[in-house]
Amino acid sequence: MYAKKQYVKVLSEAWDELGTKDWQHVAGRSGLRLEQDRILLDSLGQTLSIAPEDRQIYEPDGRPVRRIFQIVLLHQLLQDTGAEPSGQDMPIHTFHDLMLYHNTIKWRVLDILSGAYGTRPELLETIGARMGGEPRGMGDASVQLRPMPRVRWIAVIHAEDEEFPAEAQVMFDQNATAIMHPEDMVVLSELLAHRLANMANSEAGFSGEWHDANDEES
């Protein structure tokens, strides 16, 4: 996991490594679009603009994307081998490379989602649709989001009842580790879980902001 004080260093290293790559090859392999001096990346229902000359990724309104999300996006471009998705989805905690992150995933991802949607699962698909998501017909509610063109992220909610508490699952394609670094799968899941929870818990949550109490950037 990335400490906030390391964001600038990690981000700079990612830009340095991408600077040695052929952007046309990277774009073709990762499902990006080239347009003049910009590389366009479809993410969560909107189009982000990658500007290598600025070493920056921009929101549609021109604001820079949050550093931590930029790190995940750039790492995915570097990690992507071009392998085809398997079409089989796996819970995130069952990936061999993520066994050591089991508690982190539970506390920072699954508990956040079940707390936000466990008593109101119907909201998940409604709010997910605002992020370009589609229902998956799993559990009491589920949504599939595409944070990157070749990355499918699925959240599933099992609502609480008289006998059992609410539970959440997060799933990736079985071949996800050929497309993303395992640690970035956890970071991405935390970001998306908090965004979905913020949107569920507040009408102001659909402002596009991704802030939570543990993620203020200086």
Q: What is the pLDDT of residues 24-57, one digit of tens each?
A: 999 999 999 998 778 999 999 999 999 999 999 9
Task: Specify the pLDDT at position 61.
Answer: 96
Would you say residue 218 has pLDDT above 60? no
Residues 128 and 194 in one domain: yes
Residues 109 and 23 in one domain: no
Residues 154/142, Cβ–Cβ less than 8 Å: yes
Of the residues 79, 107, 127, the one at which a domain ends:
79
Residues 187 and 96 in one domain: yes
Residues 116 and 189 in one domain: yes
Is the residue at 51 inside a domain?
yes
| Spatial separation of the C-alpha atoms in residues 196 and 180, rounded to whole Å | 21
Would you say residue 212 has pLDDT above 70? no
Task: Specify the pLDDT at position 138.
Answer: 97
Instruction: Work out the number of other CB atoms within 10 angstroms of the CB of residue 139.
Output: 16
Q: What percent of the chain has pLDDT over 70?
A: 92
- The full DSSP string for 130-161 is TTT-B----SSEEEEEEEETTEEEEEEEE---
The least confident of 22-31, 174-183, 195-204 is 195-204
Is the residue at 216 inside a domain?
no
Of the residues 79, 99, 122, the one at which a domain ends:
79
Is the residue at 9 inside a domain?
yes
Q: How confident is the model at residue 1 (pLDDT cuts 50, 70, 90)?
A: low
Task: Specify the pLDDT at position 204.
Answer: 37
Residues 98 and 174 in one domain: yes
Task: Specify the pLDDT at position 4.
Answer: 78
Residues 96 and 194 in one domain: yes
Is the residue at 196 inside a domain?
yes
Would you say residue 213 has pLDDT above 60? no
Of the residues 31, 48, 79, the one at which a domain ends:
79
Is the residue at 212 inside a domain?
no
Would you say residue 207 has pLDDT above 80? no
**Domain containing residue 123:** 89-207
Q: What is the mean pLDDT of residues 142-163?
A: 95
Residues 34 and 98 in one domain: no
Residues 72 and 167 in one domain: no
Task: Specify the pLDDT at position 37.
Answer: 73
Is the residue at 214 inside a domain?
no
Residues 102/117, Cβ–Cβ less than 8 Å: no
Residues 107 and 160 in one domain: yes
Domains identified in the chain, total number = 2
Residues 74 and 112 in one domain: no
Is the residue at 114 inside a domain?
yes
Residues 30 and 119 in one domain: no
Task: Specify the pLDDT at position 147.
Answer: 97
Residues 21 and 113 in one domain: no
| Spatial separation of the C-alpha atoms in residues 142 and 167, rounded to whole Å | 12
Average pLDDT, the chain: 90
For residues 2 and 16, the model is more confident at 16
- Cα 54 to its chain centre, rounded Å, is 23
Would you say residue 133 has pLDDT above 60? yes
pTM: 0.90
Would you say residue 73 has pLDDT above 60? yes
